[in-house]
Structures are given as C-alpha cells and as structure tokens.
Structure 1
Amino acid sequence: MMEIQELKLFNGLTEEELQRSLVCSRSGIVEYEKEEYIFTQGERPKWIYMILSGEVLLEQANLSGRQTYAECLGIRQQFGVVDLFLERERYSYSAKARSHVKLLRISSHFFYGTCEKNCVHHSKILFNMMGVFAEEAEKNSKKVQLLTCGSLRQRIALYLLQNSGGNKRVELAMNREELAASLNAARPSLSRELSQMQEEGIIKMEGRKSIAILDCSRLQEDLADFVG
C-alpha cells in the first residue's frame, strides 16, 4: 500500500502536520471488497476518496439502466471531488471496487470550515487541493475530447494514444463492456471496429487485457480530420 504522504493533497507536510491534518480533516482509511459499492449513483455526496491500493470503477447509467459511462481508477487517484465541491444533491455516478481497495476518505467538513487553531497544515492542504482540481480539470478535458470525436474509430484511436504512455502497448483495466461504455459505443460495434483495425494491421489484440499498437501513424491519420 502506498503511503498517505505520497498523495498530492498532503504534499509538503511534515509527519507531525500529516497526523494532525488527518485528525482535523476527520479522515479515515476505509476498505472495500471486490464488487462492493463505495457509493451509488444518486446518493448525497459527503466525502472525497483517494485510492491507496486497488482499483475503483466509476460507472454511470441512464434511466433505463443502460451503462453510459465507465472509468477505471488506480492508486493516487481521487474521486467524488467534483460532486462534493459543486454541492450537488446526488452523485452523478457510482463507484465500485474492482478489487480489494483501501481508500482515504475525507469529510467535506474540512474543506467548508476553517480550522479553529488556523493550523498551517490546513492552509497547505487547501493550497494542494488546487493541484487536485487541476488534475480533475485535465482529466475531464481529455474525457470531453474523447467523447466528441466524430466516429468510433476516432474515439478508439484517441483512447489508445492517450493511454499508451508513449509506449506501443495499452493495458486495459476495463473489460470490453466497460470500455465500450467509456467510448459511448455499443459493445458489438466496438468489437467489430477493433477487429477491423486488427485486420488492417493497425493494432493487435493480445488477450482481453492488452492492445499492441502496430502502426501509430495510422492512428494519428484517423484523428487528422478531428484535430484539424
């Protein structure tokens, strides 16, 4: 398990300041087993969560119950931030443990009140929170860019380029149905497009959890019209 002080929120704090801040912020470590819901879509936001170990799946469903969005998060990532700070009445998505997870849970009290002793660590954390907001803004910008691509092939190309990390391989944290939801597509359509791209020699499916990029220039060509 990663150390709490490795989280961006606690950057620059001494060990003493960290311990005091955990008390001041009413923070606590909570654990969930695989497939257990941390919160469900429609619950009232009360906490922000930061992942210390394991993976969490964020998922959103429409009124008919169809999954319309999915995103997998890992260590050092956070969730519940936007809904809490926008003071929404309900979470706009559900959060479910994809494996056994340990999370740092922080009460909204810490962010909406001021420390009675005007502690230095409180000010540091509020400043660090701006970095967390910046991460959320960047993530949401990429999400909008992905979902506004004109065609499914373009969305697949952008997803692969965004998640390759400069390598020629993308490890999939999500299953095929979840990936389809994250790309705003039906699973059969996604499977057909991936198969077509493999036949054209652009990618190679390596099992169910890995995609090798064979021709990066073709992916960039697929995006040319969208970027232009």
Structure 2
Amino acid sequence: MHPLIETFSKIEVFKKLKISQIERLVKNREIIFRRYERGELIKGRGEKINEVMVLMSGKVRGEMNDFNGKNLVVEEIKAPNFLAVNISFSREAILPVDIVSEERCEVAYLKKEKIFELASENIDFLKALVEFLGSKFYFISQKLWFITLNSLKEKILIYLASKYSGGEVVVLDKSIEQLSQLFGSTRPALSRAFSLLESEGIIRKEGNKIYILDKDVIDFYV
C-alpha cells in the first residue's frame, strides 16, 4: 500500500472510505502536500481557511497570544489528524489561533468540495465526519471550562489527576514553561501555585517528579 494511502486510512474519519476512494485522491493529485520545519507558522490567526488540512506527520500546536504577550496553548495535535477542520466548515472559516509546528511535519491540503463529494458517496464517512466535528466542539467547551472557571491551583490538580495512576509519583511530561502556556498563566505564577500546593501538604515537587502526599485531594479531581 502507498505510504500516503496508509496514513490517510489511519485517521478515524477516513477509515470509513474505501481504499479505492483514498487511492483516487492521491493518484489524481487532488491533494497538495507541504512540509514545515520546527517552529514554523503553518497558518496564522485571522487567516481564512479555504481547504481541509490533514497533518500527515509530525506534531503541531494551536496557540493564542494576548496583548500582554502571554501565550496559551489551546491544543497539541499529533499526526495523523485533521487540523482546524471545524473551522474549515464554519460559515466565516476564520482561524482563531496560530498553528505552529512543534517538529518537522507535513500537511495535506484538500478542497472542501472534495470532502463534500466523498460524504455524498459514503454515508459512513459523513457520519464519522459529523461525529468528529461534534467531538471537537466538546473538546473546545472543556478547554474553555478548564481555562476560565478554575483557579491556577485547581488547574494543576486537574492536570495531575489526569496523569495519576494510583502510585505515589506523577512524572510531568512538560516543562514549567509548557505547562504555563497550557494553563494560560505566567511561569512565575505557576511556580508559586506549585509552592502553595507544597505548603498545604498536598504534593512535593522534585524536578519533574510530583510526589502525591494527599491522595484524597487528587482523587477528588479524577
């Protein structure tokens, strides 16, 4: 099987297509492929999206910056996956975030009309696409709740709970800088919040290792 066809077939929505339909997309050159280096801007906030983007390889992040220069990572996406597909099918189709490559990656660009054509040919593909768009809306709603309705201390506890597997140690897979972007805070504020949790006897932080001292608190957020 052609590597490009294999990559497309790994995406949940495209799994509903016949291999012959995916082959037709690739072989008829109805897809444009572009490569990006680490840290490169793929699409900028405010740009109009006229196509459907698929991340074929690598990893990207969607981020926003406020007037004070504070950076907020809205989402991290690993290949293979759609990029901003919910925006592509919106009426305005204006991108609300910057899409930046976190490592070398490749993005495929398809015309929206081609997706409509595939949906008209395959009802299972249409259903999968609608379900995917619904799940993106749910994700954004949860992200908004996480950012706006929780204190910084609660955000840390929610994050630790998501990584907690019942042991005594949670190993952070992100730096303080990365976590501050994820939480929409500054690095000093996040460090102070960690110190506050330590002073309250809930955790003990040693580098990227978080020792859970009060499991009842963590269990509350699981």
Residues 147 and 184 in structure 1, CA contact (< 8 A), matched pair in contact too: yes
Which residue is 1:74 aligned to? 78
Residue 109 of structure 2 aligns to a residue whose secondary structure is: strand
CA distance in 2, matches of 1:48, 1:171: 34
AA partner of residue 219 (structure 1): I
Q: 2:11·2:80 contact (CA, 8 Å) conserved in 1?
A: yes
**Which 5+ residue runs of structure 1 have no aligned equivalent?**
none
Q: Distance in 1 between matches of 2:176 and 2:34?
A: 29
Tell me the distance in 2 between the aligned counterparts of 1:25 and 1:61.
36
Name the counterpart of 2:8.
4
The Cα offsets for residues 146-168 of structure 1, whole Å up to 9 and x where unpaired, read as 12333211112122333x27576
Question: Matched residue pairs, number?
Answer: 216
Find the aligned partners of 2:28 and 2:216 in 1 and give their Cα distance. Answer: 52
| 8 Å CA contact retained: 1:176, 1:187 | yes
Indicate if the aligned counterparts of 2:71 and 2:184 stay in contact, CA closer than 8 A. Answer: no
CA contact (8 A) 1:149 1:155 kept: no
**2:39 corresponding residue in structure 1:** 35
TM-score (norm 1): 0.76
Work out whether residues 160 and 170 of structure 1, in 8 Å CA contact, stay in contact via their aligned partners in 2: no
In the TM superposition, residue 91 of structure 1 has moved relative to its aligned partner by: 1.1
Q: Partners of 1:22 and 1:65 in 2: how far apart?
A: 41
SS of residue in 2 equivalent to 1:71? strand
RMSD: 3.3
**Structure 1 pair 119–193 and aligned structure 2 pair: CA distance change class (3 A):** closer
Mark the CA change 1:157 to 1:33 in structure 2 (over 3 Å): closer, same or farther.
Answer: same
Q: Show the 5 A alignment for 1:17-166.
A: 17-22=21-26, 26-88=30-92, 90-111=94-115, 113-114=116-117, 120-121=121-122, 123-162=123-162, 164=163, 166=165
Matched-pair contact (CA < 8 Å) for 2:70–2:184: no
Q: Report sequence identity in percent.
A: 21
Change (3 A) 1:28 1:198: farther
8 Å CA contact 1:47–1:105 kept in 2: the answer is yes
Q: 1:185 to 1:135 in 2, by over 3 A?
A: same
CA distance in 2, matches of 1:165, 1:14: 40
Query: Letter of the aligned partner of 2:64 in structure 1?
Result: Q
Local SS of the residue matching 1:45: coil
Show the counterpart of 1:172: 173
Matched, 1:189 2:189: yes
Note the C-alpha offset of 1:188.
0.7
Deviations 1:97-143 (A, max 9, x none): 111112333322324x546xx9634x443222113213212311321
Q: Deviations over 1:46-82 (max 9, x none)?
A: 2333333321021112245432444322234432122
CA distance in 2, matches of 1:213, 1:23: 54
Q: Which amino acid aligns with 2:216?
A: S
Q: In the superposition, relative to structure 1, how do residues 119 and 140 fare at CA in structure 2: closer, same or farther (>3 Å)?
A: closer
AA paired with 2:218?
L
Alpha-carbon offset, residue 207 of structure 1: 4.4
- TM-score of the aligned structures, taking structure 2 as reference length: 0.77
